[in-house]
Amino acid sequence: MTFTPSTFSRFSARQLFSGSTAASLPLTIFLGLALSTSAGAQSQQQAQQQVLPLPLNEVRMFTEALDRIRMSYVEEIDDQTLLENAIRGMLAGLDPHSAYMAGDEFDLLEETTTGEFGGLGVEVGRENGYIRVISPIDDSPADRAGIKAGDLIIQIDNKPLREMLPEEAAQMMRGAPGTDVTVTVAREGQEPFDLTITREVIALSSVRSRIIAPGYAYLRISQFRVNTGTELEEEIEELYAQNEAIDQPIKGMVLDLRNNPGGILQASVSVVDAFINEGRIVYTEGRLEQTGLDFSATRKTVAGDVPLVVLINNGSASASEIVAGALQDHGRAIIMGKRSFGKGSVQTVLPLDERRAIKLTTSLYFTPSGRSIQAQGIEPDIEVDEALVTRRSRNVMQYNEADLAGHLENGNDAATENERLAEALISAEEVLVSDYPLNEALNVLKGINAFKPARSLNDTGSFAQRDLN
């Protein structure tokens, strides 16, 4: 199946999603994989022609209820509003991820696909009548203001959100860049508090990277968007280039998927494809034949042999779980952290007309070994709790040979070595103090390399077994 940007033109295709929220939210990274219409639309029409006859008694009851509301409600209400509310109710009663989109909501679908929109930058869903934060987007206004995964948003600009749909709350948080919105947050163990946040244009880069220690790379994917696979490959190639410039091979990578709410199904496939050479990545199954998809590696691997640790937590959902599950099934990576969210369903956007569509759960996805993630999640190979670690100050009585007056030099380029050491210590300090799971992932990678045969660069510039005799 070919995926091209042109498939995102309005109403040209059905769209498949693997996001974690209850609805397609304007403030979130909730994107779709578009399918070509030539076969998709035809099969959809065929499916519609094969549906069972309408239940006449239930239809009569529905029209009776509609008529009574029109005639007796305290305020006059137009038929369009009533019918749209009825559709919303039908979809809301199915599962947390099916939803009705009309007008601006539908327009914003394509807008969020491009990754630029005005808002706060937070992924939300509905829980017990309230709006629950799935995760803030990295470096978004919400993230910088201190909003955390698990927070409840109970008011927006002093308006209570009880029983409000997530897409309605998201619309309230949207607005022109530079304007302020006040959200009231309820957090476990604290009294509710207000945060005034300035809206910004959320221009998202889904992948970032850095060196966390000499020879060890860190890759962070905050959401799965159209270009995530390409962005990941570019970051990996840049990391290799940087390390080749200093004659330092990449000895291990950490792929951080914590608090990643998901996104485009195809993007998750591309990410896995960067790390495996062959084999199935993910497949989907639904009631209709056209909802059954199967994705495999294309051998365009950019990092097929480097040791890999994947970090997940309970905020890792959907597309994140596809990646973690596939790499786990292939034995390609060690999965560390906490059990993931457990969102294993795929949504299809079905246009009703030029301004309205429904987002409907149409299939479940499965890992290569046939595991369903739905309501189960991915269990890490190594469970690691979120924690902070502090570095013990060096005691003045602790010293080594280099501290002794008149010690002999070892003949190495001291300046160069000291620069590399200083850079490594800065990075290590950051990891150790601020991110315990990441530090543990780094330790695992170092442990893997400690048991590998020592390797060195030969005269040709390639790696060869070191002669230890």
Q: Which residues are catalytic?
A: 318, 329, 343
Distance CA 129, CA 238 (A): 46
Alpha helix locations (H) across 248-353? 265-273, 319-329
Strands (E), 399-468: 455-457, 463-465
208 phi/psi in degrees, rounded to 5:
-140, 160
* Cα-to-chain-centroid distance, residue 323: 10
Q: Are strands 207-213 and 382-383 parallel, antiparallel or unpaired?
A: unpaired
- The SS3 assignment for 303 reads coil
For residue 10, count other CB atoms closer than 10 A to its CB.
Answer: 13
Query: Coil, strand, or helix at residue 371?
Result: coil
Structure tokens at 19: 């996001």
Q: Contact at 8 Å (CB) between 122 and 133?
A: yes
Cβ pair 140, 202 in contact under 8 A: yes
Q: How far apart are CA 418 and CA 312, in angstroms?
A: 34
For residues 104-131, one letter each, b for 16 or more C-beta atoms within 10 angstroms of the residue's C-beta and e for the rest, the string is: ebbebbeebbebebbbbbbbbbbeeebb
Identify each DSSP E strand in 236-339 by its residue range. 252-256, 262-263, 280-285, 294-296, 308-312, 334-337
